[in-house]
């Protein structure tokens, strides 16, 4: 059986699809992961993926491409050359799977399944209803199981990666704290000055700190590192960043892709979580974590990209001392405190 799993969103979204991909791959002899350009680096790190198919869909992302008939027809023709026997369309709770389902149906994909609130007509063979309050990982696993792809025995359903470098890499040793100040959208960023202050507080407390960021964030990471932390901004591939995170004692990061990358390598996360999306669906999955931020702020649930409230109140109340306390809790440096387990994740799994 040839299977296709589609997750068309960004890097972190594709990582969260990983357990469902493994469930499908356990029963298919060939598994294709269909994703967009932003998700491609994550797709290539997921176990169980035999082929990665990349297409920039005009209904996905912050700056989607224009609808182009030739591009759409080319995508359909490419799939139609060897159409999979079954396809799962994974989406977030607010997205419709139907545009992609239509194209997959046109390409000859055999059986199609998706979470769908809208009437799908002939586009889906399995119209699955997502359970309320489910984490993205659990929701994808629910759909996979309903389509005949439960997790195989021995798979714990946590995030996992392949091809992560062991040892060496751009930073020596282990046991450091990573601070990742960037985020995909401004509404989820804590702010340059606050991140820099947190780095100084962590260094004064005796932690070795490494600051990470993408190629376009070198100025940000240099400012946050401030000469007292190691600056890896723009110096790591996604696989190398995973290796850096894997050797860290804890990662301080917003609700953005590297938070899920840290979870995928089993590293505890201090999550500077802007509640523009709900934590019950997007918190770091399957690892000890502490959520910092006001989940009842006016922006909660807005899915805003730019902060809609003056003063950024959801994260403005978080202090560098709060970050230090959370890091100490997760690393066991504070006497009498055990690392916090993912109580929210477990309650909604």
* The pLDDT of residue 301: 81
> What H or E segment, with its residue span, contains residue 53?
strand 51-54
Residue in 133, 114, 132 with CA at minimum distance from that of residue 124:
114
* The pLDDT of residue 166: 83
Residue 244 and residue 336 share a domain: yes
Residue 188 and residue 100 share a domain: no
* The pLDDT of residue 184: 84
In a domain? residue 151: no
In a domain? residue 168: no
In a domain? residue 153: no
* The pLDDT of residue 198: 97
Residue 248 φ then ψ, to 5°: -85, 155
Contacts of 132 (CB under 8 A, 6+ apart): none
* The pLDDT of residue 168: 67
Regions of the chain short of the pLDDT cut 50:
335-349
Q: For 14-64, what is each residue's pLDDT tens digit?
A: 999 999 999 999 999 999 999 999 999 999 999 999 999 999 999 998 889
Residue 134 and residue 39 share a domain: yes
In a domain? residue 172: no
Last residue of a domain, one of 105, 131, 146: 146
Residue 125 and residue 52 share a domain: yes
Residue 211 and residue 138 share a domain: no
Residue 197 and residue 310 share a domain: yes
Give the residue carrying structure tokens 């804590």: 190
Residue 320 and residue 193 share a domain: yes
Residue 136 and residue 225 share a domain: no
Q: For 294-318, what is each residue's pLDDT tens digit?
A: 888 888 888 888 888 888 888 989 9
Residue 130 and residue 200 share a domain: no
* The pLDDT of residue 294: 83
Residue 195 and residue 123 share a domain: no
Contacts of 3 (CB under 8 A, 6+ apart): 24, 25, 27, 28, 30, 31, 32, 84, 85, 86, 87, 88, 149
Please give the residue range of the domain that contains residue 79.
Answer: 2-146
In a domain? residue 157: no
Cβ neighbour number for residue 155 with a 10 Å cutoff:
16
* The pLDDT of residue 342: 34
Indicate the number of domains in the chain: 2
Question: Can you read off the two tokens belonging to residue 288?
Answer: 């000890």
User: CA-CA distance, 260 to 104, in Å (whole number)?
Assistant: 28
User: CA-CA distance, 14 to 6, in Å (whole number)?
Assistant: 9
* The pLDDT of residue 334: 52
Residue 37 and residue 83 share a domain: yes
In a domain? residue 160: no
Contacts of 212 (CB under 8 A, 6+ apart): 178, 179, 180, 221, 232, 233, 236, 241, 244, 245, 258
Question: Can you read off the two tokens belonging to residue 285?
Answer: 């999955």
Q: Residue 338 forms beta bridges with which residues?
A: none
Give the single-character DSSP code of 173: S
Residue 266 and residue 140 share a domain: no
Last residue of a domain, one of 106, 124, 146: 146
In a domain? residue 158: no
Last residue of a domain, one of 146, 163, 190: 146
In a domain? residue 53: yes
CATH number for the domain spanning 297: value is 3.40.50.2000
Quick check: 134 and 16 in contact, CB under 8 A?
Answer: no
């Amino acid at each position: 059986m040839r299977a296709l799993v589609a997750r068309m969103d960004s890097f972190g979204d594709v990582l969260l699809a990983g357990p469902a991909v493994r469930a499908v791959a356990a029963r298919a002899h060939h598994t294709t992961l269909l994703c967009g350009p932003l998700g491609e680096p994550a797709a290539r790190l997921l176990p169980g993926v035999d082929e990665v198919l990349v297409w920039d869909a005009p209904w996905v992302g912050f700056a989607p491409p224009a609808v182009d008939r030739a591009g759409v027809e080319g995508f359909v023709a490419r799939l139609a050359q060897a159409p999979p026997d079954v396809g799962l369309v994974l989406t977030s709770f607010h997205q419709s799977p139907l545009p992609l389902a239509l194209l997959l149906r046109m390409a000859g994909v055999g059986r199609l399944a998706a979470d769908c609130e809208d009437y799908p007509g002939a586009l889906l063979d399995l119209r699955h209803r997502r359970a309320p309050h489910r984490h993205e990982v659990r929701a994808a696993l629910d759909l996979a199981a309903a389509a005949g792809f439960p997790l195989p025995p021995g798979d714990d359903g946590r995030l996992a990666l392949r091809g992560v470098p062991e040892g060496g890499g751009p930073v020596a040793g282990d046991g450091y704290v990573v601070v990742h100040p960037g985020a995909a959208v401004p509404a989820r960023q804590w702010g340059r000055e606050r991140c820099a202050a947190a780095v100084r507080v962590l260094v004064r407390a005796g932690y070795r700190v490494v600051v990470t960021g993408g190629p376009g964030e070198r100025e940000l990471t240099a400012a946050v590192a401030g000469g007292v932390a190691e600056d890896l901004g723009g110096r790591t591939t996604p696989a190398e960043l995973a290796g850096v995170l894997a050797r860290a004692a804890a990662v301080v990061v917003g609700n953005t892709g590297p938070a899920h990358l840290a979870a995928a390598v089993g590293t505890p996360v201090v999550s500077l979580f802007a509640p523009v999306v709900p934590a019950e669906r997007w918190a770091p999955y399957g690892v000890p974590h502490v959520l910092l931020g006001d989940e009842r702020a006016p922006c909660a649930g807005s899915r805003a990209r730019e902060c809609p409230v003056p003063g950024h109140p959801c994260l403005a109340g978080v202090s560098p001392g709060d970050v230090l306390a959370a890091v100490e809790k997760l690393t066991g440096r504070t006497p009498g405190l055990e690392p916090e387990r993912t109580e929210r994740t477990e309650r909604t799994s």
